A and B are shown apart, each in its own frame.
Chain A
Amino acid sequence: MALEKITQVTGRAVHVPGNDIDTDRITPARYLKVVTFDGLGEALFYDERFNPDGSLKPHPLNDPRFKGASILLVGANFGCGSSREHSPQAIYRAGFRALIGESFAEIFFGNSTALSMPCVTADKAEIEALAAAVEADPEMMVTIDVEALEVYYADQILKVRLPESAQKALVAGRWDPIADLLEAGDLLEQASARLPKAVQR
């Protein structure tokens, strides 16, 4: 199962400001009443983007200037809360391929990496400068170089961070770990024979 090697992501960006944006805001729980992830892109930030009557609220993702953006700029502790993979799935299915933020909640980060969607981090001031450049020129292309851990925009080069294990997995096309896990083969049976098990007695 050859996977795409995620060495760089290029596209237009959009800034969704704020810290501690939780998974209930990213994908309200009523959109979790599904048995597939299809169509979840429409649920993205739903209650932040729409009034109960369906009319639009002011939100960066409702702003036509940023339509088609594929890089999401966020604040600190983005994706906190639930383990629901529906949140990164909704972001991916809405067309995003990478996130740049101050920090990410751990489960959200892992879920995103396993979908091939890098979540790189930078300092608050750096993200705000990038967001200001996007605001000034929404057509501006932003490139995340996952190998060099640099972001390029306008004439700027921004150093970003990504844990080595995620970087290696993305760049090597091993972001979905299932093939590697299955390679353990008999080690799995050996471990199961050795380790405790809950058995009704």
Chain B
Amino acid sequence: MGKSLYEKVWETHAIRTLPNGQTQLFIDTHLIHEVTSPQAFGMLRDLGLKVRFPERTFATVDHIVPTHSLQEPFADPQADEMIRQLRKNVQDFGITFFDVSSGLQGIVHVIGPENGITQPGMTIACGDSHTSTHGAFGAIAFGIGTTQVRDVLATQTMAVSKLKVRRINVNGQLRPGVYAKDVILHIIKVLGVNGGIGYAYEYGGEVFDNFSMEERMTVCNMSIEGGARIGYVNPDQTTFDYLKGRPYAPKGAEWDKAVERWKALASDKDATYDDVVNIHAEDIAPTVTWGINPGQGCAITDRIPDPALYPEAERAGLEEALKHMKLNPGQPIKGVKVDVAFLGSCTNGRLSDFREAAKYLKGRKVAPGVRAIAVPGSQPVAKACEEEGIDRIFIEAGFEWRGAGCSMCLAMNPDKLVGDELCASSSNRNFKGRQGSATGRTVLMSPVMVVAAAVTGAVSDAREVFGVGELVGA
């Protein structure tokens, strides 16, 4: 009987069984950032422990970094204290840090892959729930809390229970104007925001075989929004082509050996799964959210649900969502007025996202009254965009072109919604208050749909606005 990649990686990384029955799992690569690590270093110091394998931890600063100016001290004294604390911690413990002056700084889930630090078959941990992103490479990547950050710093291991594995096949051809973001929003809509609790999601099928690494990252990134702590795609030639030549990827004879090892780690053809879900690519439409969690989504052509038509147990949740969003039951989602357009985040802040959006934005203007910001996921993404003239397209359209960071995805920096502004956002969470205002409203969508919303001033169908589809593949 064959094994899944998850099982193979688990077996090679399990060190021993702990007294409570959990497994002590070795973590090959640990990524840290300024928000969830300072208390972990504090605990380490309190316990008199050192970082066991400092060469296995990499640091960046992303959540609190202002995207309009890197001049220090930062205007926000709390943010300034956080970056200074991180600098002290990495220096005291000998950890590689992609600081703002490195030219390599960016969102932790963008820079890991970009530098080739994220590799197939690795176990990866980071104090951030979107660590599932790294699963795009066939890594088993855990989002962890701060106590676990301490555990990994001190021992390079953590106590975990084995998950079940759900294989999600998406077969067929995506329709024109349908993107990776739509695929994951659709999967979450079908399986629910808590459907993945207790599972690792293995994504496969023709759509994933054909996806680029950046598209795979977009899907794996939002696994956690479906309740699955881990999501991954088996490594293949696309994975190897992406990694080859990156700074931290193996080189020469080591590269050839690594590729052989990675190929053997992919799930066996006869692997068994705890659950299998089949989704037809043709059923997936450009998808947007209308509510206050990522599972509350619909096709752009759909109407917002009417709670009265739902079982009583579901009504209160739907009504709460509509009340927060200030939307009416049965109203079409298309045409809802947009105040802000945000393009960026660890979900959709990579070069291919800006390229695809720029293709349609070129020569158009942001609608009057819409505040539009484009935030590259890393300094190298920003540089690549600038070299290709993508920044000019955004600026000429009326977008603000910013520096790298998490920005308005979670608003721990100056980029925030004000009052009940509604934001067309390429990020991952539409929770109440997520974008920095308690009454702010978020509509999640793909990057191309964000620029369609920016130029029309309303939630729009990019296929109509731009004739997306006619251009796809052109």
Q: Count chain A residues whose beta carbon lies closer than 8 angstroms to a beta carbon of B.
A: 62
**Please, what's the 1-or-0 string for A8-28, where 1 marks a CB less than 8 Å from any CB in chain B?**
000000000011101011001
CB neighbors of A among B381-410 (8 A):
410
In the complex, chain A residues whose CB is within 8 Å of the CB of B150: 178
Closest approach, in angstroms, between the C-beta of B136 and any C-beta of chain A? 16
Partner of A18, one of B53, B197, B320, B411: B320
Q: Are A165 and B194 in contact (CB under 8 A)?
A: no
Partner of A198, one of B29, B49, B194, B224: B29
Q: Are A177 and B151 in contact (CB under 8 A)?
A: yes
Closest approach, in angstroms, between the C-beta of A107 and any C-beta of chain B? 6
Q: B55 — nearest CB in chain A belongs to which residue?
A: A197
Q: How far is the CA of A111 from the CA of B147 in the complex (A)?
A: 7
Closest approach, in angstroms, between the C-beta of A18 and any C-beta of chain B? 7
Q: Are B155 and A181 in contact (CB under 8 A)?
A: yes
Closest approach, in angstroms, between the C-beta of A40 and any C-beta of chain B? 10
In the complex, chain A residues whose CB is within 8 Å of the CB of B431: 22, 24-25, 81
**Please, what's the 1-or-0 string for A86-103, where 1 marks a CB less than 8 Å from any CB in chain B?**
101000000000000001
Q: Are A35 and B82 in contact (CB under 8 A)?
A: yes
In the complex, chain A residues whose CB is within 8 Å of the CB of B244: none
Q: B195 — nearest CB in chain A belongs to which residue?
A: A77
**A-B contact number at CB 8 A:** 221
Q: Is A182 an interface residue (CB 8 A)?
A: yes
Closest approach, in angstroms, between the C-beta of A122 and any C-beta of chain B? 16
Q: Are A30 and B317 in contact (CB under 8 A)?
A: no
Q: How far is the CA of A22 from the CA of B115 in the complex (A)?
A: 32
In the complex, chain A residues whose CB is within 8 Å of the CB of B42: 35-36
Closest approach, in angstroms, between the C-beta of A153 and any C-beta of chain B? 24
In the complex, chain B residues whose CB is within 8 Å of the CB of A32: 35, 63, 412
Q: Is B193 an interface residue (CB 8 A)?
A: yes
Partner of B147, one of A80, A115, A164: A115
Q: How far is the CA of A164 from the CA of B128 in the complex (A)?
A: 26
Binds B, one of A65-73, A129-137, A140-148, A183-191: A183-191
- Asked whether A184 and B155 contact (CB < 8 A) given A76-B194, A83-B36, A83-B145, the answer is yes
CB neighbors of B among A106-129 (8 A):
106-107, 110-111, 114-115, 124
Q: How far is the CA of A53 from the CA of B227 in the complex (A)?
A: 34
Closest approach, in angstroms, between the C-beta of A71 and any C-beta of chain B? 21
In the complex, chain B residues whose CB is within 8 Å of the CB of A200: 247-248
Q: Are A172 and B53 in contact (CB under 8 A)?
A: no
Closest 8 CB pairs of A and B: A111-B145, A85-B145, A47-B438, A77-B194, A35-B38, A33-B78, A168-B20, A85-B146
What would 30 A/B residue contacts be, using CB atoms closer than 8 Å?
A: A20-B194, A20-B295, A22-B431, A25-B433, A32-B63, A32-B412, A35-B39, A37-B39, A76-B194, A77-B193, A80-B193, A80-B194, A80-B293, A83-B127, A85-B127, A107-B129, A107-B145, A114-B148, A164-B21, A165-B20, A174-B20, A178-B151, A180-B18, A181-B157, A184-B155, A184-B157, A188-B156, A198-B115, A201-B247, A201-B248
Known pairs A85-B39, A105-B194, A198-B117; list 7 more (Cβ under 8 Å): A24-B434, A83-B129, A88-B145, A106-B198, A178-B150, A182-B49, A192-B156
